[in-house]
Chain A
Amino acid sequence: MDVRLAGIRFSYGAVEALRGVDLALAAGEQVALLGPNGAGKTTLTRLLVALRRPSAGRVTVGDWEVAHRRPDEMARRVGYVFQHADQQLFARSIEEDVAFGPRCLGLRRPRVGPVLEELGLAAVARLHPYDVPAPTRKLVALAGVLAMEPRVLVLDEPTAGLDRPQRDLVVEALRGRARDGVTVLAVSHDLGFVAEAADRVVVMREGRIAEDRPVRELLWDAPALRGLGLRPPATVEVSVALRLGGRPVRTAEVVEGMRGVKWRQAPE
């Protein structure tokens, strides 16, 4: 579903957090939002679910004017995964907690089981959410949002604290949603994740959009990354070291580029 922000301004008291933001996201697009702390990334994402109201400008999600909606109404279209989403769980089992959102929305046949399966949580479905490690709880919270079948997904640092297999599950889940036309917007510092799960990267600085580029362009632009205090992901580091062509960023692309490499045995 299309998301459009036009001429957005927002202030916390005297501090202007957003100073004129225009951004359009198309259905099925996977976009990463980058920027230093305090650039306005989180504020921007909150506008999409009506948790904040802009002081100027318009936010639309599909044909909905967000200005006329409450957060619990926006939940029908926009799924928001909070940074510390592990702190929102409360039910006595993981599957019950995942079913909470769909139940609030009155979905008749919530797809709890498949979502748990997708995120590798089927084996722990009957456990109490606080009996699993915090990173797993984070996946539970993501499952809870996916089960609501949103048309737009907004995620704040979805991979912080996750290990690589868990991150790969998140990447796969997001790609699957995007193929179904879900718009995905993820705030993330984790460039390994961005490389896998974004086609486009929007960089914010001081309340404005500073850059808006295809992912392979930005991740191969080392000076730009250094300016953000970031190092290129391992996939790009390897590609540069091996002089692979075509600016690959995703694991599959790099592996493809490395095909035919002759390996030596490890030195003793």
Chain B
Amino acid sequence: MTLRDLVLVRLGVALNLVIGQIVAALLLPVYLDSVGTILVAALVGPRAAITAGLVSQVLNAVISGNFSWLPFALVQVVIALYAAAAARLGLFRRLGTAVPAGVGMGFTAAACSAPISYFLFGGVTAGGVTAVTTVLRALGAPLGVAVAAASFSTDLLDKAIACALVCVVLRSLPRTLAARFPGLAR
């Protein structure tokens, strides 16, 4: 990776970890903690995006102490690859395609995270998801169904908004900045 790629990866990681501050101030029920990964995928490419995703996961662990979530790094890799593919197809150019792409990303991410959550952690992971899982389980749903339903319901909204936001960012880039990213012109 070039120095520029490294600095952009660092930016993406910082965005992943800091955007939550803004989301929390607005009391929105999402994390958007892969916005930076998606942005890096669109601006630089899959390799940088995977790096951003993995580093974010490790940093998250270092900051929160929740090292047991490290296996979810796999989900970050999947998101990065999906986002890079979506960017190459030009899906982030318009909100009309970015939001469905985000929903698809949510599906893909949940399809990855639910099994990890089920097999490695017995369905108990991050706060919000676990609460939904517990409620569903108490209502009589089998554990596997409860975990999957909780993962999908949270991920779809989260990734749809994240992709929409990245689309808005890309559309708002000034010409001089956009010209630094030859990938965008495609």
Contacts and interface: CB of A to CB of B under 8 A. Distances in A.
Interface in B89-122: none
Interface string A164-201: 00000000000000000000000000000000000000
Interface string A121-137: 00000001111000000
A12 B171 CA distance: 40
Contacts of A91: 172
Determine the interface band of chain A, counting residues with CB < 8 A from chain B.
Answer: under 10
A90 interface: yes
Interface in B146-185: 171-172, 174-177
Nearest to B168: A90
B174 A90 contact: no
Main secondary structure of the interface of A (DSSP, over half): loop
Contacts of B176: 130-131
A103 interface: no
Contacts of B172: 90-92
A105 to B, nearest CB: 19
B21 to A, nearest CB: 15
A91 B175 CA distance: 13
A220 B177 CA distance: 47
Interface in A83-113: 90-92
Contacts of A128: 174-175
A129 B177 CA distance: 12
Nearest to A92: B172
Contacts of A130: 174, 176-177
A131 B172 CA distance: 12
A91 B171 CA distance: 11
Interface in B25-49: none
A253 to B, nearest CB: 42
Nearest to B169: A90
A90 B169 CA distance: 9
9 contacts: A90-B172, A92-B171, A92-B172, A128-B174, A128-B175, A129-B174, A130-B174, A130-B177, A131-B176
Given A90-B172, A128-B175, 11 more contacts: A91-B172, A92-B171, A92-B172, A128-B174, A129-B174, A130-B174, A130-B176, A130-B177, A131-B174, A131-B175, A131-B176
Interface of B: 171-172, 174-177
Interface of A: 90-92, 128-131
A-B pairs with lowest CB-CB distance, top 7: A128-B174, A130-B174, A131-B174, A131-B176, A92-B172, A130-B177, A131-B175
